[in-house]
Chain A
Amino acid sequence: MKLLMVSVGEGRYAVPADIVTQILDPALEGDFRVERSEAVYRGVRFPVLDLHAAAGERPGVATVYLVIEAARNRAVVPVDGADSIRDVPSTAIAPLPSFIFSRPDREFRGVFSDGGEPRLLLDQDGLL
């Protein structure tokens, strides 16, 4: 399973790479802007999923935007960094127990070891 490693504040997470269609750097994209809870890219509006708010983190100064798409739903996710793509076997990803969450909708579904540190896998079903 190919995963894109991202950082959001102090959190280090992973996104299934196959749902990431683009990584946008607003400094390099003239036709991209964010308007409150929506992003507009080349005239198309996308909902913005605010992981910083979900994680209780403040946005960094060099935010990049992931365009993600799955099951015909699309969204833009601001992150502070997209570091690398790693191939992580599905068997190495442990499911997160649902009972630890304080609400039914959740942003994370699994965890795997990344250099000895647990790294959380974002839940595409929860995001989109």
Chain B
Amino acid sequence: MSAAGGSWLISFRVGGAEAALPLAVVREVTARPPITRVPGSHPFVSGIALHGGVALPVYDLVRFAPLWSGPRPVRAEGKAGEAEHVIVCDWGEARVGLLGDGVDLLEAEQAGNAPGGAQASRCRMSAEYVREILRRDDEAVLLLNPERLFASLGVPAAEPTGAGEGGGEDDPAGR
């Protein structure tokens, strides 16, 4: 254990892989809300949901091709993911949701590093997005690199105070 040592993680299943994010970036986990497709958005944006009155872009990582090192779980233009949960993350000034199933809380200290063989056979995600491969019972859990992931998804990072407001949002009423 190194980078993840002593921290809590949220694990979730996506595209047949078991992934995890640091709990520090996760605001909450909710049941999948109504999601409306947004024409003109990136293909890996499943749509927009309303979360406490805020527009929550919901991402389907299965559709995000660079994340996967092997065959894509589904085609980019295929049916939208059927995941039952949304992992709501705060990233900089933005709030985003990730579709996932089997959401669980995982303490990194209790999860061991996976042996090399297990890593090679089970990891279908691109190494550049994986900070660490952990082991929970007999399964590998891929701790994602949130900086790399959110940057690649186009989510803006936190700006210095006063440099900008609203996380790239516009005033819908034209004010």
Residues of A that sit less than 8 Å from B by CB: 1, 11-12, 54-56, 90, 92-103, 106-113, 116-121, 124-125
**Contact yes or no, B172 A95, CB < 8 A:** yes
Residues of B that sit less than 8 Å from A by CB: 34-43, 45, 47-50, 53-55, 57, 94, 154-156, 166-175
Name the one of A54, A56, A94, A119 contacting B53, with C-beta atoms under 8 angstroms.
A94
Closest A residue to B34 using CB positions: A117
Count of inter-chain pairs, beta carbons less than 8 A: 100
Q: Is the interface of B mostly helix, strand, loop or mixed?
A: loop
- Residues of chain A with a CB closer than 8 A to B45's CB: 100
- 26 CB contacts below 8 A, A to B, read A11-B39, A92-B53, A93-B173, A94-B53, A94-B172, A95-B166, A96-B38, A97-B55, A97-B169, A98-B169, A98-B170, A99-B156, A99-B167, A100-B57, A101-B38, A101-B42, A108-B38, A109-B170, A110-B172, A110-B173, A111-B48, A117-B34, A118-B36, A118-B48, A118-B55, A120-B38
**Identity of the chain A residue whose Cβ is nearest the Cβ of B170 in the assembled complex:** A95
Docked Cα-Cα span, A107 to B41, in Å, equals: 10
Name the residue of chain B whose CB is nearest to the CB of A9. Answer: B39
- Contact among A12, A90, A95, A102 with B40 in the assembled complex (CB-CB below 8 Å): A102
